[in-house]
Amino acid sequence: MIFGIVSVLAAAALVAADQGIKLWASANLQPVGAMPLLPGIVELRFCLNDGMAFSMLAGKQALLIGVTSLMLLAVLIMLFVRKMPLAERIAWTLVLGGGVGNLVDRVLNGVVVDYINVLFMNFAIFNFADICVCVGVALLIVAALWETRQDEKTAKAGRQKETDAHEAD
């Protein structure tokens, strides 16, 4: 229970940071459009996105809000009822915080405020919440691969122990 509460508080802090940055972007970037952050590499560019990643499902706000809400509810419940390693808990907390950050935008404004534009490659404009979700998912993948590797090592050690026991007979 305590780990669930800590996870929710951490996710709430991520949402607060995300919303604060989006307020700043709306106030400071919207009037000018864009400003360099790292010249030639990254700029801050005000953009409103009514879709999800890469503007997929653009204009389908009700669907995006409904599906996102259900998924985030499942993550929230899981953070309270499932015992999990720290890396997995951090990952799901990042997903929850980022997902709620963008969900708040969708519910209140019908669009998500994006502002990070990578200039050295053709990529979508994104925001802090998107980074949280992507880092969370990447961490989940790494944690799953790590766990699989540890399980394989344990299984191999068990098989070796059996082989050694048979040879001793």
Catalytic residue from among 18, 105, 114, 151: 114
φ/ψ of 69, rounded to 5, equals: -60, -45
Q: Is 125 in contact with 49 (CB distance < 8 Å)?
A: yes
Q: For residue 99, what are the contacts with CB-CB under 8 A and spacing of at least 6?
A: 68, 71, 72, 75, 129, 133
Catalytic residue from among 18, 50, 105, 130: 130
Q: Is 57 in contact with 63 (CB distance < 8 Å)?
A: yes
For 55, the token pair is 């503007």
Residue 151 known to be catalytic: no
Q: DSSP labels for 2-69?
A: HHHHHHHHHHHHHHHHHHHHHHHHHHHTTTTSEEEEETTTEEEEEEEESSSGGGTTTT-HHHHHHHHH
Residue 169 known to be catalytic: no
Active site residues: 114, 130
